[in-house]
A = this chain, B = another copy of it.
């Protein structure tokens, strides 16, 4: 059986995000997996996701941290509530603030590994730390302040 990501449990209406929506055909399809108290994701950039030649574009790094952060937030709140992932009512988070420190240039052409950890779960707000590594080096570190989305957001027309 294929292992399920947090995003596989998002309701269809909430699953159109360019970064992590499994129903966005143009998107990046970030997939967040629960691993003990942490989460993991792996993403291999396309050759055109460059900043300078040979290095990954910072906006992509921010995007990966953002989506892995909101996925991690959802997983943390399901866990805190002792609920199964995807059980009703659905929990979906949006980003209130994002901070990324680019610690060193991120090489392109190798998989990027992300590890997320919910540092704080307080009501509808979750603060997630995400560390991004490439070829064994930590290249970026991020903080995502995620807030639970109102249920009606998912069904608003485009």
Contacts and interface: CB of A to CB of B under 8 A. Distances in A.
Interface in A56-84: 57-60, 62-64, 66-67
Max chain B Cβ within 10 angstroms of own Cβ: one of A28, A99, A155:
A99
A156 B105 CA distance: 12
10 shortest A-B CB distances, which residue pairs?
A59-B63, A62-B62, A26-B48, A18-B57, A99-B99, A58-B95, A54-B156, A53-B158, A52-B153, A98-B100
Nearest to A58: B95
B59 A59 contact: yes
A131 interface: no
A94 interface: yes
Interface in A1-48: 13-14, 16-19, 21, 24-28, 46-48
